[in-house]
Amino acid sequence: MDVRRLKYFIVTAEERSISRAAERLHITQPPLTRHIQSLEEELGVLLFTRTSWGVELTQAGTALLKHAHNISAHIELATEQIRRVASGQAGRIDIGVFGSAMLNIIPKLLSAFSATHPDVRIVLHNTPKEKQINALQQGRILGAFDRYLPELPNIATVRVCREPLWVALHCDNPLSRQPRIGIDDLRKEPLIDEQDPSVSIACRELFTHHHFEPVVVQKAADLIAATIMVSGGFGSALLPESILNLRLPNVIYRPLVTDIDCMIDLHFAYRKDEESPLLDELLYCVRNYRHHATESEVANHPGEE
Amino acid sequence: MDVRRLKYFIVTAEERSISRAAERLHITQPPLTRHIQSLEEELGVLLFTRTSWGVELTQAGTALLKHAHNISAHIELATEQIRRVASGQAGRIDIGVFGSAMLNIIPKLLSAFSATHPDVRIVLHNTPKEKQINALQQGRILGAFDRYLPELPNIATVRVCREPLWVALHCDNPLSRQPRIGIDDLRKEPLIDEQDPSVSIACRELFTHHHFEPVVVQKAADLIAATIMVSGGFGSALLPESILNLRLPNVIYRPLVTDIDCMIDLHFAYRKDEESPLLDELLYCVRNYRHHATESEVANHPGEE
DNA sequence: GTTCGCCATACCGATTTCGTATGGGCGAGT
DNA sequence: ACTCGCCCATACGAAATCGGTATGGCGAAC
Question: Per the CATH hierarchy, to which homologous superfamily does domain B161-264 belong?
Answer: Periplasmic binding protein-like II (3.40.190.10)
Average pLDDT, chain B: 85
Residue of B nearest to A89 (CA): B60
Q: Is the pLDDT of residue B120 over 60?
A: yes
- CB atoms A63 and B81 under 8 Å: yes
Q: Is the pLDDT of residue B288 over 90?
A: no
| Interface mutation vs chain B, best among A59, A72, A117, most B CBs within 10 Å | A59
Distance CA B160, CA B286 (A): 7
Q: Is the pLDDT of residue A177 over 80?
A: yes
Average pLDDT, chain A: 85
DSSP string, chain A: -BHHHHHHHHHHHHHT-HHHHHHHTTS-HHHHHHHHHHHHHHHTS--EEE-SSSEEE-HHHHHHHHHHHHHHHHHHHHHHHHHHHHTTSEEEEEEEE-GGGGGTTHHHHHHHHHHH-TEEEEEEEE--HHHHHHHHHTTSSSEEEES-----TTEEEEEEEEEEEEEEEETTSGGGGSSSEEGGGGSSSEEEEESSHHHHHHHHHHHHHTT---EEEEEESSHHHHHHHHHTTS-BEEEEGGGGG---TTEEEEEEE-SS--EEEEEEEEETT---HHHHHHHHHHHT---THHHHHHHH-TT--
Q: Does A130 or B184 have the greater pLDDT score?
A: B184
Q: How confident is the model at residue B296 (pLDDT cuts 50, 70, 90)?
A: very low
Q: How confident is the model at residue B22 (pLDDT cuts 50, 70, 90)?
A: very high
What does the CA dihedral A172, A175, A177, A182 come to, rounded to 10 degrees? -160
Indicate the range of A62-71, B177-186, B251-260, B270-279 predicted with least confidence: B270-279
| pLDDT tens, position by position, B67-85 | 999 999 999 999 999 999 9
Question: Does residue B85 belong to the interface with chain A, where contact is any CB pair within 8 Å?
Answer: yes
Q: The domain A162-264: what is its CATH number?
A: 3.40.190.10
Q: The domain B90-157+266-289: what is its CATH number?
A: 3.40.190.10
- Give the model's pLDDT for residue B11: 93
Strand C near-CB residues (< 7 Å), B 46-105: 52-53
Cα Dmax for chain A: 105
Q: Is the pLDDT of residue A203 over 60?
A: yes
- Domain boundaries defined on chain B: 3-86, 90-157+266-289, 161-264
Instruction: Give SS3 for B298.
Output: helix
Question: Does residue B276 belong to the interface with chain A, where contact is any CB pair within 8 Å?
Answer: yes
Instruction: Give SS3 for B4.
Output: helix
Length of chain B in residues, anyone?
Answer: 305
Q: How confident is the model at residue A296 (pLDDT cuts 50, 70, 90)?
A: very low
Chain C: nucleotides under 7 Å from a protein CB? 5-11, 17-21, 25-27
Q: How confident is the model at residue A291 (pLDDT cuts 50, 70, 90)?
A: low
For residue A92, the chain B residues in CB contact (below 8 A) are: 59
- Give the model's pLDDT for residue B285: 87
Distance CA B255, CA B163 (A): 11
| pLDDT tens, position by position, A250-261 | 999 999 988 787
Q: Does A100 or B120 have the greater pLDDT score?
A: B120
Report the distance from CA of residue A5 to the C1' of nucleotide C6 in Å, as an integer. 21
Q: Is the pLDDT of residue A1 over 50?
A: yes
Question: Does residue B92 belong to the interface with chain A, where contact is any CB pair within 8 Å?
Answer: yes
Question: Does residue B70 belong to the interface with chain A, where contact is any CB pair within 8 Å?
Answer: yes
- Give the model's pLDDT for residue A295: 45
**Closest nt by CA–C1' to B18:** D8
| pLDDT tens, position by position, A204-226 | 888 888 888 888 888 888 888 89
Expressed in percent and rounded to 5, the helix, strand and coil fractions of chain B are 45, 25, 30
Looking at 3.40.50.300, 3.40.50.1820, 1.10.1040.10, 3.40.190.10, the CATH number of the domain A90-160+268-300 comes to 3.40.190.10
Q: Does A3-86 match A162-264 in CATH topology? A: no
Q: Is the pLDDT of residue B31 over 80?
A: yes
Q: How confident is the model at residue B293 (pLDDT cuts 50, 70, 90)?
A: very low
| pLDDT tens, position by position, B198-213 | 778 888 888 888 888 8
Give mean pLDDT, residues B144-173: 86
Q: The domain A3-86: what is its CATH number?
A: 1.10.10.10
- CB atoms B78 and A71 under 8 Å: yes
Which amino acid, residue A27? I
Distance CA A245, CA A168 (A): 12
Burial, A30: exposed, middle or buried (Cβ in 10 Å; 0-12, 13-18, 19+)?
Answer: exposed
Indicate the range of A28-42, B37-51, B229-243, B283-297 predicted with least confidence: B283-297
Q: How confident is the model at residue A202 (pLDDT cuts 50, 70, 90)?
A: confident
- Cβ count near A279 (within 10 Å): 16
